[in-house]
Structure 1
């Protein structure tokens, strides 16, 4: 990447900052109360700086120091949250060789574009669950927090923790003299001591939570996509250490045995959950573990697996077998009462298409309002930030999005977010 390209990207990012936090009155034709699952008609939301200071019935007249935002024909709701993204990359037919041609700085600059697409799609908060390029999500989070660039509020896991040869071992599939023997520094562990060191290393690097890959995965250059890959002792060591450092723990898991071990060890959420069985569902409900389904990623990889050469040959049969199952897994989990938090695995498919997940959730049997709740209040509870985000209430941060029309009648409208405010700043109008 040349210096002219770098300057252009930085300049474009700065120009995209459309406003600063101020005093606003929003006239909401329909306001979604995601706590009670109630539609409220003709409400006003008063915002000062980055905080909601009042939510009142009727259309309040804007004062001299307030700017009026007219959303009378819109449905207004809290900023959306995606609990599973990868902002440091995007999987495609050339991405497996990127690490040989791209530096972390190249990936970091590219991630500015991915972050902007995500925010403009209405997702004001995300969990980044594993970097394609080490350190990029944490650096991106810092740049957004400091106001250098625009993007969603990021909770970053940093490097996912794997076992040798497991999903997220960064040396899978390369020739022997390049495999070396990665350890906790690189997010690869074998045994309880390694597990504790890997968690502490993520803390040292500035991560916000811990992400484990407790079973095989679809897109890794390894044969098995669902076998358990952590011992119970390793999982216990991770979870105990994570709790000491104030981390939540989430796990990538396709196979049932890996999920059972992880839940019994005390993790907070399960990603994908493809082969979830009745015992896994019972354990999740008993232990109040959230399910983050990522249906969009499953459908995407199944579609691309049919294209010769799009994925490496070791990946194609896993993508074809596992990808299509997530939709039905979600339908069963929802029906059985498992707690759901919205997540897509964006980065497996193009960033900015996150809202497709709503349509798939509704087609699997979840009511539209509950799907939106999963991406607002439920996600905030999983992140343990529902005291400041997740609903439109007096005292909470001013993360607000809107769509013209009624998404409860047509959930596909969630893919057409027309207004975005994050931290009291208008991003899109």
Structure 2
């Protein structure tokens, strides 16, 4: 017999209107049963004076990565990364992010650890690896002539993804799909932290990208394109990718193409700022890499403003792993600083992100029938400032996994009952995290 959870007295954010109105939310199992005034339930999660928003969706993370210092990575036992991933997933969920798209690094075992409840974390979509040519973003060849595979090592369950030519592309795409990829990721330009690639240069020929897209269509999966430079962005959009990741050097033609093709932009504004904030020494950046980071920031901001003004659809992604895990909601403040309204910034992490992932019928709204993923924020104003400090609760699949206010956990409705049963396993008084499933 289910015990319905009542989230009482909050102001529920409506992404359609961009406003919030006072309403209760009733959760039965993993689903939202009802939203409206004067509802009741068996247990209560008090939300008076708080904004109730859908669980946030981060469309670009790397849960297996939290260091880009190659020397440190080479001195770290490989298996330790999986324990770091468990910590990173926990931090992400407790930050209010209930769904992520991992853009390379996490394999099927990491995803299964979450879905089985072995590890606490958000629901996951995984790319497993990033397709790149020799000399491209996933090629870790160094000026010394060494190739250390510190950031993107291959291992059982995670195929090597440096490919050249249509046949190599086809084989590796099929290996990724066999390994459990939910989405395919391709680097159509160089990158910022890769040692010898150029973020402004386009990589892969039309024949290679065409094979990728044909295999993706056959498998009914979408393609996300790491793309900084203008030419590489345009090549990816022409080919029909679902989203451009980063999109640093957009121009008016590229933006117009994205609008015409319905291509999404996932900006990841947090990543270059995190590298500069941590400092080149801490991140292990060379002078050449740091120069690329500095060049990126101003151009990136301008491109987001240009894309938003033109009507390009934007979804939130943080590049967490480059940016710190658990600070994901900072991205919404950065989007707002580039001209998105608070409501649009919230949409980027809820309804828009859900649409990008093809999951709008499941997540992204606080509405009957949707999955019960909720975040409670202090204050009832629709605003994105200081979100981490305002976080007061996280509900994932109907379970309260975090209370950030130190207040009363969900309790039995009616007169107060100070018993373990009344407190409920989902909402322990000491804020210990219960099973996610």
Tell me which of 8, 15, 31 is aligned to 1:51. 31
Asked if the contact 2:343–2:383 (Cα under 8 Å) also holds between the matched residues in 1, the reply is: no
Pairing 1:203–2:177 present? yes
Asked if the contact 1:164–1:188 (Cα under 8 Å) also holds between the matched residues in 2, the reply is: yes
Moved more, 292-301 or 44-53: 292-301
Asked if the contact 1:223–1:315 (Cα under 8 Å) also holds between the matched residues in 2, the reply is: no
CA distance change for structure 1 residues 349 and 343 in 2, over 3 Å: closer, same or farther? same
Match of 2:318 in 1: 344
CA distance in 2, matches of 1:266, 1:204: 22
Match of 2:53 in 1: 77
CA distance change for structure 1 residues 415 and 358 in 2, over 3 Å: closer, same or farther? farther
SS at match of 1:186: coil
Asked if the contact 1:297–1:323 (Cα under 8 Å) also holds between the matched residues in 2, the reply is: no
Q: Which runs of 5+ in 1 are unaligned?
A: 1-20
CA distance in 2, matches of 1:214, 1:223: 11
CA distance in 2, matches of 1:103, 1:245: 35
Mapping for residues 272-291 of structure 1, pairs under 5 Å: 272-291=246-265
Match of 1:176 in 2: 145
CA distance in 1, matches of 2:220, 2:283: 43
CA RMSD in angstroms comes to 2.1
Asked if the contact 2:67–2:283 (Cα under 8 Å) also holds between the matched residues in 1, the reply is: no
CA distance in 1, matches of 2:298, 2:356: 26
The alpha carbon displacement at 1:175 in A equals 4.3
Pairing 1:333–2:302 present? no
Match of 2:16 in 1: 35
Task: Give the total of aligned pairs.
Answer: 396
Higher fraction of helix: 1
Mapping for residues 269-418 of structure 1, pairs under 5 Å: 269-304=243-278, 310-406=284-380, 408-409=382-383, 411-418=385-392
Q: Deviations over 1:178-237 (max 9, x none)?
A: 579x99941011111111111111111111100111101100011522200111111111
**What is the TM-score normalised by the length of structure 1?**
0.87
CA distance change for structure 1 residues 78 and 28 in 2, over 3 Å: closer, same or farther? farther
CA distance change for structure 1 residues 164 and 381 in 2, over 3 Å: closer, same or farther? same
SS at match of 1:411: coil
CA distance in 2, matches of 1:309, 1:348: 9
CA distance change for structure 1 residues 405 and 137 in 2, over 3 Å: closer, same or farther? farther
The alpha carbon displacement at 1:75 in A equals 0.2
The alpha carbon displacement at 1:409 in A equals 4.2
SS at match of 1:323: helix
SS at match of 1:29: strand
SS at match of 2:83: helix
SS at match of 1:163: coil
Asked if the contact 1:358–1:414 (Cα under 8 Å) also holds between the matched residues in 2, the reply is: no
The alpha carbon displacement at 1:410 in A equals 5.4
Match of 1:264 in 2: 238
CA distance change for structure 1 residues 155 and 410 in 2, over 3 Å: closer, same or farther? closer
CA distance change for structure 1 residues 199 and 415 in 2, over 3 Å: closer, same or farther? farther
CA distance change for structure 1 residues 330 and 28 in 2, over 3 Å: closer, same or farther? farther
Moved more, 30-39 or 148-157: 30-39
SS at match of 1:189: coil
Match of 2:416 in 1: none
SS at match of 2:53: strand
CA distance in 2, matches of 1:165, 1:22: 56
CA distance change for structure 1 residues 179 and 124 in 2, over 3 Å: closer, same or farther? closer
Asked if the contact 2:136–2:190 (Cα under 8 Å) also holds between the matched residues in 1, the reply is: yes
CA distance change for structure 1 residues 204 and 407 in 2, over 3 Å: closer, same or farther? farther
Mapping for residues 68-107 of structure 1, pairs under 5 Å: 68-92=44-68, 95-107=69-81
Moved more, 414-423 or 304-313: 304-313
Moved more, 28-37 or 67-76: 28-37
**What is the TM-score normalised by the length of structure 2?**
0.86
Asked if the contact 1:353–1:415 (Cα under 8 Å) also holds between the matched residues in 2, the reply is: no
CA distance change for structure 1 residues 122 and 185 in 2, over 3 Å: closer, same or farther? closer
